[in-house]
Amino acid sequence: SKAEGQNRLHIFEPGLLLVRRLRSQLVDDLRAAIKGQGLVLHYQPVVELATGRIEGVEALIRWNHPSRGLIMPDEFIPLAEEAGLISELGFWVLNTAVGQLRDWISDSVVDSRFSVRINISPTDLQSLQFIEDVRAVLTETGVRPEQVVLELTEMAIVKGNDLDRYSLGGLRGLGVGIEIDDFGTGYSSISYLRKLPVDRVKVDRSLIVGLGTDPTQPALVAAVLQLVRACGLEAVWEGVETAVQADHLRNLGCLSAQGYFFSRPLPAEQIPALVAAQSSA
Ligand code: C2E
Ligand code: CA
Ligand code: CA
Ligand code: CA
């Protein structure tokens, strides 16, 4: 009936309005956080499997919300994308991470082989301004481009257009490292691996979860490693949670890995002690 219909409207509308209000409040909060305080980068070590040396870190963003506490990137990166804030966020991450690296270098915490990995959104890849931002931060900080590695998802690159390829070439031209993130999850097209100007792939953790439990898994890892190397690239293995996984990867000839087994992502202040402990080990 008409009355019921109206009722339903009365029931649903305030709910929708509430959701919209919460959302737009959250977007306002995020905008303020990018401009001011509240965003923070944690850093997760990437380890050389043969020696245990920390060869670099990946910068992972967190949002310290004034009332909701720590919010993880999977929850607010999509919001930033939708709200048109992702470029600003990416700019903040780039400058904060490279600035942090410069501080670690000048404090002799790390040497010239140490690299910082930065996650790049597909939007960043599509923006020529981003290349200029990378160039600018390298000039301002004096950090060697080889010590900065940009991580791009397989999806972003494969779905990309010619402009993306141009951007990749432009970024590569600056001398920074380019790595394909979450490798093995998206498109399984092999041919582009050889064509793209990238140096490394970071193999998604779903490819190693079965190491130590599934007897067929080592052969699969070996095959992926062989494929990656046949394309002239090197692989980093992420999501290593157990000693058994680390041993398998090392025995299969994998060079670098990352995961909770080695270290969780940590606040910047905790990195120097960890690096010092590993290099004197
Ligand atoms: P990702 O780039 O694949 O990052 C790896 C994620 O796996 C991180 O989650 C990390 O904390 C988690 N991880 C690390 N080791 C292990 C492990 O051993 N086991 C398990 N189960 N997980 C592990 P996090 O920090 O929540 O980041 C999630 C995603 O958010 C990232 O996935 C990345 O796509 C995105 N992200 C993070 N920081 C940034 C950023 O600064 N900019 C952009 N655009 N995206 C970011
Ligand atoms: Ca990543
Ligand atoms: Ca990943
Ligand atoms: Ca991921």
Tell me whether residue 241 is exposed, middle or buried, using C-beta atoms within 10 angstroms of its C-beta: 0 to 12, 13 to 18, 19 or more. middle
Element (H or E) spanning 244, and its range?
helix 243-251
Higher-confidence residue of 236 and 186: namely 236
Ligand 1 touching residue 260 (CB < 6 A): yes
Among the listed residues 118, 186, 111, 115, the one whose alpha carbon sits nearest the alpha carbon of residue 150: 118
Q: What is the model's pLDDT at position 185? A: 82
pLDDT tens digits along 79-115: 999 999 999 999 999 999 999 999 999 999 999 999 9
Q: Which of 43, 57, 98, 119 most suits a substitution to test ligand 1, by most atoms within 8 Å of the C-beta?
A: 119
pLDDT tens digits along 221-234: 999 999 999 999 99
Give the pTM.
Answer: 0.92
Q: What is the model's pLDDT at position 1? A: 46
Among the listed residues 148, 158, 83, the one whose alpha carbon sits nearest the alpha carbon of residue 125: 158
pLDDT of residue 11 exceeding 60: no
Q: How far is the CA of 8 from the centre of ligand 3 (A)?
A: 44
Q: How far is the CA of 1 from the centre of ligand 2 (A)?
A: 53
Q: For 55-204, where are the alpha helices, taking DSSP H only?
A: 73-82, 86-106, 122-125, 128-141, 154-158, 162-173, 191-195
SS3 assignment, position 225: helix
pLDDT tens digits along 126-160: 888 999 999 999 999 999 999 999 999 877 766 65
* For ligand 1, atom 41: residue with the closest CA: 61
